[in-house]
Amino acid sequence: MKSKIAAHFRPSRRTSHTYERLKQCKGCGSYTSLWDDTCLYCGAEGKFTPLLPLLQTIMKRHAQRDVLIVGTGALAAIVLSKNLTEMLISLLAGIALIVLYLLLRKKYTPYLEKSLLNELLQSENRTIREGLLLDTEAAAADLKAEDYKLAYEKLREIGYLFTGNQVKILKIICLNHFNLRKDMDLELSTLLPEAFDIDFVLYLFEVSKVNPELVKRDAIDYTIRYRSEIEALPGGHIALALVFTAALRVKAYVIQYQDQIADFIEELPRERLIRLCHLVAEGPEDFPQLYPRLTALLKQKHESDPELQGII
């Protein structure tokens, strides 16, 4: 692999719901999750409408249609009235029905929006999927052109909606071309591949060094599942040690993965070893596998260290 590059990623906008990342081209009806203002399908520029305003427009049209239907019914009643009294009653009834409809619609708007959204997403599911696949092809073209930063930024947006293994692998390939830093907006759990993947292990190794807070249960479970494959790689033992060292952040992780942590306690940096000793000292009975291995290590290699000897 070529030398790694420094990168500052484009900020990814925050949304309450993932569907808010979608926008539709008014020219051809295709969807995209990218920030570009040019439609990848038809080439139109400046014709995108975000899904939420699109939904609100449909809601408004439905309301106008319903009011028109009620108004038409009231008008028909007025026309068919035999006298002025019936005409007045028909008019007042029509107005009352419209007002009642609008009040009820306002009250139930959130439920109507949710129902309409589900209906829209189901009916447009194929078109949305095709649009996201087109976005993915654009990102893959950037990757092929070695524009790893732009490719990753696109794949990150696509990944909020399209969580397939292909997108994960492409993102991992991009990320392995960057010099990772703690201040970067990195991801890990969202990148877990469906099977053993060397590129992901390389990325996991780097993330465990610069941002161990990202190492959660799912990443640790992945490491355990493919431990033999990882250990067979050059530097695989170090990678495993880093992952299980990251587990020391959370006491529940230490209890759950104490067997694996025990296998790597000799590789723990001193500050991590001190952290582990304090955790175990809080309740040795919670660590039946780890406690004897830890005390044996302290006796064999750290007997002259008063700080370590005084913890347990």
* pLDDT of 66 strictly over 90: no
Predicted local distance difference test score (pLDDT) of residue 57: 86
32 forms bridges with which residues in the sheet?
A: 23
Confidence of residue 302 (pLDDT cuts 50, 70, 90): confident
- Beta carbons of 188 and 214 less than 8 angstroms apart: yes
Query: Which residue from 180, 154, 177, 176 is spatially nearest to 167, judged by alpha carbons?
Result: 154
Q: What is the pTM of this model?
A: 0.81
* pLDDT of 144 strictly over 90: yes
* pLDDT of 303 strictly over 90: no
Confidence of residue 233 (pLDDT cuts 50, 70, 90): very high
Predicted local distance difference test score (pLDDT) of residue 2: 59
